A and B are shown apart, each in its own frame.
Chain A
Amino acid sequence: MRLFGVLLLLAGMGFGAAAQAQDLKWNEVVAKARGQTVNWNAWAGDEKTNAFIAWVGEEVGRRYGIKVNHVKLKDTAESVARVVAERAAGRNSDGTVDLIWINGPNFLAMKQQSLLFGPFTHVLPNFAYVDTARKRSNLIDFTIPVDGFESPWRMAQIVFVYDSKRVQQMPGSAVELLAWAKKNPGRLTHPSVRNFLGATFLKQALYELAPDPSVLQTPATDEKFAAVTTPLWAWYEQLLPALWRQGRQFPENGPAQRQLLNDAEIDLMISFNPAEAAVSIDAGLLPDSVRTLVFAKGTIGNTSFVAIPYNAASKEGAMVVADFLLEPATQARAQDFRQMGNFTVLDLSKVSPEARKRFDDLPKSPALPTNAELGTTLLEPHPSWMTRIAAEWEKRYTK
């Protein structure tokens, strides 16, 4: 009986929060947001992104009177842990986290534990421009339906960046990558599989090596996992000794790996940002000779979102920021490789002609791939595959 009462209470809390979001009107939201401080928890390992977030803060401050505080994270999981700690301490309102740059397993964790405010994206006026037809990852986050609990802001697709001065034959698939690595031992690495980019390296290989890739869209079970990943581990076992540091050490994240390429410790690296090469050359973080390549059969792509915790102190301010991120002018600036170089989440056929021209006028670079070159985007597998792959990798290769 008590259990039923608790369940009812929990359901009521969830309901209550949802009910509030449904009834919001935009002008009310903007009015309430004025004067709020939004603590935007975002991974801070990249200078350009930090600068972009700072610019967003300035613009939003000017236009809406909102103060944005960029809470710099080493890892998005820190934010999730914080919200959990706050709920554990009974802090159900006035939380310290207002907005989180999030996707994938972290989003799944928060959505499952009812730690998110929403659904709220239907309230945002600029959400109408989002491409929901051809960029399905804007609605399905790692096979989890978004249901309006997070708002997209940038797209990512796996590419490989290489130094054209030292790499003559470009590998175009996982199998070719293995052959290349064997010929050039110690010149390739990937971030630690605990990092999402590192895990994606393995996922990308899995797409190619798995007997039937469609099974990756379903949750992983023990038997499925064992069967599907056998060829992957066979391939990886051969690759490991040919990696940098003989596969005994890995850079912690993308920027660390990029530093290795800049230091000439490696010649080839994986990246989630198609504009990475162009952006880095511009910022002096990589030499001018780097170029971008994509695998022939396509690479994994996903969307990055922003979400609002259930106990956020400045929910309205957070929503205004999320909406601002979807504004065509903002998206165009984000796609400019001199700023951040992230391809847009918007459907350019839905925006106004002036906005479309902004996109056309963006600067170009030899290291910047065209949309055609980026080819097919493969959907992210179910998050359970990533968590299992990461766990299995740790088990096998952490001694």
Chain B
Amino acid sequence: MRAAPALTVAVFLLPIAAGLVGTLLPAFGYLPAIGGSAFNLDGWRRLASYPGFRSSVAVTLTTGVVTSVLAVFVAFGFCAIAHGLGWMRRIGGWLAPILAAPHSAIAIGLAFLIAPSGWIVRALSPWLTGWTVPPDVATVGDAAGFALVLGLLLKEVPYLVLMIVGAMSQVPVQQHLAIARSLGYASTESWVKTILPQIYPQIRLPIYAVIAFSLSVVDVALILGPSNPPTLAVLAVRWFADADIQFYFPAAAAATLLLLLVVAVIAAWFGVERIAIGLGRRWIARGRRRSGVTFGASVAAGAFGIVFALSLAALVGMALWSFAVQWRFPDALPQAWSLANWMRRLDGLAVPAWQTLLIGAMATAIALVLVVGCLENEARARRRPGAGALWMLYVPLLVPQVAFLFGAQVLLVRANFDGTLAAVVWAHLIFVLPYLFLSLADPWRAFDPRYARTAASLGASPARVLFAIKLPILLRPVLIACAVAFAVSVGQYLATLFAGNGRVATLTTDAVTLAGGADRRVIGAYSLLQALFPLLAYLFAAALPALLFARRRGLAATP
């Protein structure tokens, strides 16, 4: 038990550090295996001389920053309006299918939805628009990155909303709002001026994670982003895979540049925070009962509704495709349906589906053991973890994947460990672990310590307390945390690609490969399964405790 924290750190911080070094060195010319033995700036020079370099950096920065700003605005705005509504408490359930679906599945669905020949246009043509052929407008893969921003928002906004709801449970929201409203402030104003400032510190790290992700995402950028030139992350992955190995150097340089950009943007955000806090205080102190807050929040709430609707439509669209026989433009629905599609695809789907399941289950199981170990260790030593521990957990979410996965792959190849299922599980573990920890930590720490004391006074050893008392009572939070972890594993793209050396196929890697333009009926089947697996995990997490403890009303309340 005492080894748990050390083991956990070893599992994910060391590989990241090693991977970073393995990418940083080639960026400066040092990779003896392919002839780079002296430090030089050739990689950087080649990167800078790439024709689309400036636009690539520009589109990376704009999409990353715009996504982050919009996500924060929409998430906070929505919560400001909706907090009072009864169903906010169950928002987790509503958002579950969207949160469960991997980024790439939603992106693939969105690509079909908003394309000029996509579902929205099909539904409106030709009776509304008069189009018999699709208009020549770039809505997907556009050079400015609008489609990419939208695709990212579809997942980031629900994620932030969930974090906000979680943070709100730590603050006496009702009391503060009651006081503010008694002082004459409207409901939305009250929330923005009293609750938001209090919960922001807890949302800070999730926001930084959103920033890092938006800047460095690969799978969504491949599906929705521009390709000529692409974002920096896609460029790096493209060059890493190039037949000409000399491209490793500019690839590593691009990955390093991306890391620097992430750090710079997060630092800039932090700076803007400081300014905003100062300005915000003054604004609050002015005591105006009606500012434009309610209007802004309403816009945000409307945007949230659109985001929600688009996500669901994206998933439904791909589900329809998986059952379609023929779906030509401009029909609003497929002309012919059949289950035969699925029967035919079953063979091709079986292996990636099984591997996705296996890898997800193993990564989740290992992560669970480590996390429970750490949390128990912390509970027994009665030590409160510092803020440093939280930052450590967020490291895998803040460092661009492409910046350390390449270095990690070289290590794996050297250890002859690459391409195995175990290597992929280990790579997934790096990302699964933080999410599992973050999901489980609060409920675990909130567990009434007196249960454990009582059990101890009745003669139960710490191990017996853990297995007979603590885990059963915490079964629901544990299962939900596992569902979150499993969803994270299902959605992994780069990690599977690099660690598996292309030999391990999961639903996500295959879906992204096929998204290039193979049969949409096939992609539909893959996307549907991609979204279904995590959803089933969530349903299981909700259902099992309900079943086991059907006659235990004490556990029925949602913690």
Contacts and interface: CB of A to CB of B under 8 A. Distances in A.
Contacts of A192: 227-228
Given A72-B510, A246-B136, A253 B516 contact: yes
Nearest to B226: A249
| Dominant secondary structure of chain B at its interface with chain A | loop
Contacts of B517: 45, 251-260
A173 B226 CA distance: 31
B242 A81 contact: yes
Given A45-B513, A257-B517, A82 B244 contact: no
Contacts of B413: 85-86, 89, 91
A252 B34 CA distance: 29
B243 interface: yes
A384 B328 CA distance: 41
B189 interface: no
Given A255-B518, A265-B116, A245 B138 contact: yes
B84 interface: no
Interface in A178-201: 185-187, 192
B34 A109 contact: no
Contact of B241 (A47, A54, A72, A78): A78
Interface in B394-451: 409-410, 413-414, 416, 418-419
Nearest to B329: A264
B33 interface: yes
Contact of A69 (B229, B243, B328, B503): B503
A81 B241 contact: yes
B228 A265 contact: no
Range, interface on chain B: 35 or more
B51 A395 contact: yes
A250 B227 contact: yes
Interface stretch (A27-35, A153-161, A283-291, A349-357): A283-291
Given A77-B242, A397-B228, A50 B51 contact: no
Contacts of B197: none
Contacts of B226: 249
A47 B518 contact: yes
Contacts, number: 156
Given A74-B513, A192-B228, A249-B142, A96 B503 contact: yes
A376 interface: no
Scoring A80, A89, A244 by chain B CB atoms within 10 A of each residue's CB, the highest score goes to: A89
Contacts of B520: 259
A99 B232 CA distance: 32
A260 B138 CA distance: 13
A36 B155 CA distance: 44
Contacts of A187: 133
Contacts of B347: 54
Interface of A: 39, 41, 44-47, 50-51, 54, 69, 71-82, 84-91, 96, 105-106, 109, 166, 185-187, 192, 244-246, 248-260, 262-265, 283-285, 287, 394-399
Given A54-B347, A394-B52, 8 more contacts: A39-B503, A72-B502, A96-B503, A106-B243, A249-B142, A250-B227, A254-B517, A263-B117
* Pairs of residues from A and B, 7 with the lowest C-beta to C-beta distance, nearest first: A256-B517, A88-B33, A263-B117, A186-B136, A398-B52, A77-B243, A80-B243
